[in-house]
């Protein structure tokens, strides 16, 4: 039987591989999980009651989302992101990952190029390959910040979009407003799209502020903004996000979504209407714990500054450690699980193999597991790197 060569060339997601290693070493503490430690607010459950109250809700609904959720999103975008809809549309998706695939399929043909920042979010790189396009990776700087000049230099006549993620997975970097403005302008002047993934918009620390490129005057015609309830509202399994897109992409995106999804799960959409009623304050309260956990991580890593460099990371819930060793990142991750019962994600997953990088995630943890997990990581790195 024939298997698609294109699919064979797509990298396998690392999370299940690490998950399998964790299962085979019971008692391992995972610093790998990219999810929030909390679930949805009670208002989401009330939303489900509204869903259940109407038997019509068991039928297919609009491909772009139910009006009640679209309305809540529109208000949120205006209030929090400075994005007014004029000339734009919202499409509710089954998460930001689906929004990304929708966007790619709507704006590319096979062989086109998409500019990703290095290190990249692995599902973005995979999606580009699945769409039969080529990921052109532009390195970020030593602090994992954007390099607009290098991005401009990477654009060819096959480039269709530049992708930015801020706050960033896997680095935790929050991009400077001035750099995002510059990238958005580079896209406008080259007649290409700026795809802005803002799944972690609420997760910023130490005074860092999130900026939405979609709020820039004149950005509406070439900016595709992706949002998600997965992290902010503890909604990862509910599969709700949305895209904000130029009017002219509304029809192509609906064709794609109609074919793949027909409509976003309506029960989850009603839960989302409820969650958004609780609003940003819900996440703000939860972040107090996450902020403390982040501090535990940073303090522990401070103690091994001779072994790892931790560039500034004021967002999301990730730190991407630059480890001072020639050992390959997957091998190091394997040993950390096998010998020290602590799991991290190897940098190779994010397309960086020049040095040894490890991603640690602090969003899913409580204080005791965070302290114990970091103590194992520090002990493991000390032993392995100073032998």
Ligand X SMILES: Cc1ncc(COP(=O)(O)O)c(C=O)c1O
Contacting residues toward ligand X, per CB under 6 A:
34, 95-97, 121, 165, 169, 197, 199, 228, 230, 236, 241
Distance CA 137, CA 125 (A): 9
Minimum distance from residue 231 beta carbon to ligand X (Å): 7
Q: Which of residues 93 and 108 has its CB atom nearest to ligand X in the complex?
A: 93
Residue 24 burial (10 A CB sphere; 0-12, 13-18, 19+): exposed
How is residue 322 written in tokens?
A: 């630059």
> What's the min distance (Å) between Cβ of 183 and ligand X?
16
Helix H or strand E encompassing 266: helix 266-278
**Cβ contacts of 255 within 8 Å, gap of 6 or more:** none
Nearer to ligand X among residue 168 and residue 215 (C-beta): 168
Q: How far is the CB of 107 from ligand X (least distance, A)?
A: 18
Task: Report, in Å, the least distance between residue 120 CB and ligand X.
Answer: 10
Residue nearest to ligand X (CB): 95
Which residue, 19, 133, 34, is CA-closest to 350? 34
**Cα 313 to Cα 172: distance, rounded to the nearest angstrom:** 5
Neighbours of 27 (CB within 10 A): 6
Cβ distance to ligand X smaller for residue 253 or 381: 253
Structure-token pair, residue 258: 């109609």
- Going by DSSP bridges, is the β-strand pair 134-139/159-165 parallel, antiparallel, or unpaired? unpaired
Residue (106 or 304) nearer to ligand X, CB: 106
Q: How far is the CB of 224 from ligand X (least distance, A)?
A: 13
Interhelix angle 250-260/96-107, rounded to 10 degrees, is: 120
- Cβ distance to ligand X smaller for residue 199 or 249: 199
Angle, nearest 10°, between helix axes 42-52 and 266-278? Answer: 140
CB of 123 to ligand X, least distance (A): 7
Q: At closest approach, how far in Å is the CB of 318 from ligand X?
A: 8
DSSP 110: T
Question: Is the Cβ of residue 196 or residue 215 nearer to ligand X in the bound state?
Answer: 196
Give the containing element (helix H, strand E) for 256: helix 250-260
Tell the smallest beta-carbon distance from residue 210 to ligand X (Å).
13
- Give the pair of three-digit tokens for residue 297: 């991580």
- Closest distance of CB 338 from ligand X, Å: 25
d(CA 234, CA 230): 6
- Dist. CA 89–CA 91, nearest whole Å: 7
At its nearest, how many Å lie between ligand X and the CB of residue 269?
Answer: 14
Nearer to ligand X, 286 or 376 (CB): 286
Please, what is the end-to-end C-alpha distance for the chain in angstroms?
49
Q: What is the spatial order of strands in the sheet that 223-228 belongs to?
A: 88-93, 241-246, 223-228, 193-197, 159-165, 113-118, 134-139
> Which of 122/270 has CB closer to ligand X?
122
Give dist(CA 232, CA 158) in Å, integer.
35
Strands of 98-192 (E only): list them.
113-118, 134-139, 159-165
């Amino acid at each position: 039987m024939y298997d698609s060569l294109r699919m064979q060339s797509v990298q396998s997601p690392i999370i299940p591989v690490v998950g399998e290693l964790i299962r085979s070493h019971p008692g391992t503490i995972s610093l790998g999980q990219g999810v929030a430690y909390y679930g949805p607010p009670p208002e989401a459950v009330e939303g489900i009651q509204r869903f259940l109250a109407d038997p019509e809700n068991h039928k297919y609904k609009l491909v772009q989302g139910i009006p009640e959720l679209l309305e809540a999103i529109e208000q949120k975008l205006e209030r929090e992101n400075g994005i007014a809809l004029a000339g734009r549309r919202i499409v509710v998706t089954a998460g930001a990952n689906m929004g990304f695939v929708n966007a790619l399929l709507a704006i590319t043909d096979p062989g086109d190029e998409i500019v990703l920042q290095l290190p990249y979010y692995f599902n973005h790189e995979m999606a580009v390959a699945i769409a039969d396009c080529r990921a052109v990776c532009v390195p970020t700087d030593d602090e994992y910040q954007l390099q607009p000049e290098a991005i401009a230099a990477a654009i060819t006549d096959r480039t269709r979009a530049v992708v930015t993620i801020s706050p960033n997975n896997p680095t935790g970097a929050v991009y400077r407003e001035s750099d995002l403005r510059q990238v958005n302008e580079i896209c406008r002047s080259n007649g290409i799209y700026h795809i802005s993934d803002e799944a972690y918009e609420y997760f910023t620390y130490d005074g860092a502020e999130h900026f939405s490129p979609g709020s820039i005057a004149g950005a509406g015609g070439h900016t595709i903004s992706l949002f998600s309830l997965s992290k902010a509202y503890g909604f990862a399994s509910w599969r709700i996000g949305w895209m904000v897109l130029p009017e002219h992409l509304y029809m192509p995106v609906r064709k794609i979504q109609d074919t793949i999804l027909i409509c976003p799960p309506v029960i989850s959409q009603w839960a989302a209407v409820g969650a958004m009623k609780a609003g940003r304050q819900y996440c703000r309260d939860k972040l107090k714990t996450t902020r403390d956990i982040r501090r535990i991580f940073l303090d522990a890593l401070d103690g091994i500054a001779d072994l790892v460099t931790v560039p500034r990371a004021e967002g999301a819930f990730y730190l991407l450690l630059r480890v001072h060793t020639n050992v390959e990142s997957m091998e190091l991750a394997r040993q950390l699980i096998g010998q020290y019962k602590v799991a991290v994600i190897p940098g190779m997953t994010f397309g960086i193999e020049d040095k040894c990088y490890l991603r640690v995630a602090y969003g899913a943890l409580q204080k005791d597991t965070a302290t114990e997990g970091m103590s194992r990581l520090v002990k493991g790195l000390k032993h392995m790197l100073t032998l």
